[in-house]
């Protein structure tokens, strides 16, 4: 049996559901395949200790739904007021079981076209993409969107690592580690999550991995741990009757590298996941980047070597690893909205929706500052998504939330003369990461950057009313819109 559709989506996690919402709203013929019995199967297992690290602030003091999404990192985008995660719990770091319930409700309330219990075991490409499930049934479509996430456990090539316990199956009962010496391999969220769980019962916990830990929002566990971080490379793991002996080349900023052999009772590998490309036939296996962690993608999130194959969700990190919030719902929900608009433009001839305004300095200044004050997309996808202003005579077209790289590489919504608007974080000062973004407006002509203006940072993230923000931006637009404008400017 062959089921045919226009859009075939693999995966009914947050990414697949988010794209499904936009396809459903646009009236497209689509089908979402999901291996599990419900939406959000991943969250039935992970994170193992059940606490999400994505913030959920239900009380912000504002009734602006767009602005509130800056502090709501779990909601998917929709036109249903009740499908907001903050209405499911007021917990700041919610339990993952609530995410499963939320995603299930999202799919059911919006009537998304799902097929559960359907695992894609083979993907090939002829005239169409063909996906074969575990029962031998086939699904065909001219467009394929892979929204599976990174689901294949990864172990680095360290001798003896196969003898360790792994994050996905190790017990989460902290008393199973009573008075034991534990080494956790991996300095990501899984490693710190596991270490925090053992803090009260283990005799000692070391967290090892190359490079120093970066104190980002996701590594909030550092403030709670009373354990040691080992910066260095693990050279060998040997398991014996008395536990594990681990050889580590330690490195430090102030001391030469040293090789130590350390004993542990337990070793747990929390070394992450990779994209699983094993289901793809040779004729449509996507190229990979970043040590084979993610598919290589164009600026439209299309496979660089397989036309009409797109990626949604955390897999979109193939474009911007560690440079935005694409690893999380609060980032990729906006990238998926942009992806859908790109698909509508490319395959259905529906242009990116602009709004018109006068092409004068005052109007552009007001429009830009109003947008950066409220936009959650520009805030969460800092430097990745941008608004675009295209002046044409006395009028200007204002486009929202385009991928920055796509704007510069294509003719979509741009001409030989356009402005981009982004929210960006400044450079760290004395190794202190900036905590507030600021608006940046750039002017391009014939594809070349000719001027840029940085609106001063504001600790309250309010740029709309103060003349210290308005006057310089108005002057910037006045200069750049002048008929005899020349000479590059940076301010």
Determine how β-strand 288-289 pairs with β-strand 294-295. antiparallel
Cα separation, 244 vs 231, whole angstroms: 19
pLDDT, tens digit, 9 for 90 and up, residues 301-327:
999 999 999 999 999 999 988 888 999
The contacts of residue 367 (CB under 8 Å, 6+ apart) are 357, 389, 398
Cα separation, 88 vs 75, whole angstroms: 10
Are 229 and 185 within 8 A, CB to CB? no
260 alpha-carbon distance from chain centroid:
37
Percent of the chain's residues with pLDDT above 90: 75
Region 161-269: CATH code: 3.50.50.60
Q: Is pLDDT of 63 > 60?
A: yes
pLDDT, tens digit, 9 for 90 and up, residues 240-290:
999 999 999 987 655 567 899 999 999 999 998 899 999 999 999 999 999
pLDDT, tens digit, 9 for 90 and up, residues 212-234:
655 443 333 333 444 578 888 89
Note the pLDDT of residue 224.
43
Read off the pLDDT of each residue in 371-396 and give the average, rounded to a whole number.
95
Percent of the chain's residues with pLDDT above 70: 91
Note the pLDDT of residue 349.
95
Q: Is pLDDT of 484 > 70?
A: yes
The contacts of residue 75 (CB under 8 Å, 6+ apart) are 69, 83, 84, 85, 86, 329, 333
pLDDT, tens digit, 9 for 90 and up, residues 75-110:
999 999 999 999 999 999 999 999 999 999 999 999
**Of 133-147, 240-254, 339-353, which gets the smallest average pLDDT?**
240-254
Nearest to 91 by CA among 58, 50, 42: 58
In sequence order, the β-bridge partners of residue 310 are 145, 302
Cα separation, 213 vs 222, whole angstroms: 9
**Is pLDDT larger for residue 418 or for residue 211?**
418
Q: Is pLDDT of 177 > 90?
A: yes
Q: How confident is the model at residue 111 (pLDDT cuts 50, 70, 90)?
A: very high
Provide the residue ranges of all domains of the chain, joining segments of one domain with +: 2-152+273-348, 161-269, 354-490
**C-alpha torsion angle, residues 210, 215, 221, 226 (rounded to 10):** 70
Cα separation, 97 vs 45, whole angstroms: 9
Other C-beta atoms closer than 10 Å to the C-beta of 147 total: 28
pLDDT, tens digit, 9 for 90 and up, residues 194-210:
999 999 999 999 999 87
Which DSSP string do the residues of 187-216 spell out, in sequence order? -SHHHHHHHHHHTTT-SEEEEEESSPPP--
Note the pLDDT of residue 229.
81
Note the pLDDT of residue 189.
87
- In CATH terms, 2-152+273-348 corresponds, of 3.90.950.20, 3.40.309.10, 3.40.50.300, 3.50.50.60, to 3.50.50.60
Same fold, 2-152+273-348 and 161-269: yes
Q: Is pLDDT of 363 > 70?
A: yes
Note the pLDDT of residue 460.
84
Note the pLDDT of residue 490.
58
What angle do the packed helices 329-348 and 14-25 form, to 10 degrees?
40
Angle at 332 between CA 317 and CA 115, to 5 degrees: 100
Cα separation, 341 vs 389, whole angstroms: 17
Note the pLDDT of residue 413.
46
Note the pLDDT of residue 432.
54
Are 230 and 248 within 8 A, CB to CB? yes
pLDDT, tens digit, 9 for 90 and up, residues 419-476:
999 999 876 555 555 667 899 999 998 888 999 999 988 888 888 888 889 999 999 9
């Amino acid at each position: 049996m062959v089921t045919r559709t226009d859009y075939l989506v693999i995966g009914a996690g947050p990414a697949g559901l988010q794209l499904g919402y936009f396809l459903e709203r646009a009236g497209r013929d689509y089908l979402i395949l999901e291996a599990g019995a419900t939406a959000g199967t991943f969250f039935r297992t992970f994170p193992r200790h059940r606490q999400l690290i994505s913030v959920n602030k239900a009380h912000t003091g504002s009734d602006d739904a767009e602005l509130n999404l800056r502090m709501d990192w779990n909601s998917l985008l929709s036109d249903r007021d009740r499908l907001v995660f903050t209405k499911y719990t007021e917990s700041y770091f919610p339990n993952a079981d609530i995410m499963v319930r939320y995603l299930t409700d999202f799919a059911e309330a919006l009537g998304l076209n799902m097929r559960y219990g359907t695992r894609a075991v083979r993907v090939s490409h002829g005239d169409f993409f063909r996906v074969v499930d575990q029962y031998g049934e086939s699904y065909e479509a001219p467009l394929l969107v892979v929204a599976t996430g990174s689901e294949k456990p990864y172990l680095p090539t360290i001798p003896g690592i196969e003898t360790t316990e792994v994050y996905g199956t190790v017990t989460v009962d902290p008393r199973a580690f009573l008075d034991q010496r534990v080494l956790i391999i991996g300095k990501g969220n899984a490693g710190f999550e596991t270490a925090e769980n053992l803090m009260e019962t283990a005799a000692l916990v070391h967290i090892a991995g190359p490079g120093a830990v970066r104190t980002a929002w996701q590594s909030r566990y550092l403030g709670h741990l009373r354990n040691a971080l080992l910066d260095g490379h693990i050279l060998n793991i040997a398991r014996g009757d008395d536990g594990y002996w681990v050889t580590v080349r330690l490195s430090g900023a102030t001391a030469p590298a040293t090789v130590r052999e350390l004993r542990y009772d337990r070793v747990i590998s929390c070394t992450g996941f990779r994209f699983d490309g094993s289901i793809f036939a040779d004729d449509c296996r996507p190229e990979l980047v970043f040590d084979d962690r993610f598919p290589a993608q164009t600026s439209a999130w299309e496979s660089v070597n397989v036309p009409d194959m797109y990626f949604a969700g955390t897999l979109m990190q193939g474009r911007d690893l560690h440079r935005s919030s694409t690893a999380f719902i609060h980032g990729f929900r906006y990238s998926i909205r942009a992806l859908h608009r790109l698909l509508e433009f490319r395959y259905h001839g529906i242009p990116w929706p602009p709004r018109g305004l006068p092409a004068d300095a005052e109007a552009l200044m007001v429009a830009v500052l109003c947008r950066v004050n409220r936009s959650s997309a520009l805030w969460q996808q800092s430097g990745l998504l941008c608004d675009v202003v295209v002046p044409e005579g006395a009028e200007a077209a204002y486009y929202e939330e385009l991928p920055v790289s796509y704007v510069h590489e294509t003719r979509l919504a741009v001409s030989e003369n356009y402005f981009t608007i982004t929210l960006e974080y400044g450079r760290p000062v004395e190794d202190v990461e900036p905590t507030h973004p600021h608006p940046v407006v750039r002017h391009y002509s014939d594809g070349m950057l000719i001027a840029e203006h940085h609106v001063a940072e504001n600790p309250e993230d309010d740029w709309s009313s103060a003349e210290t923000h308005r006057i310089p931006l108005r002057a910037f637009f006045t200069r750049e819109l002048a008929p005899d404008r020349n000479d590059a400017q940076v301010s």
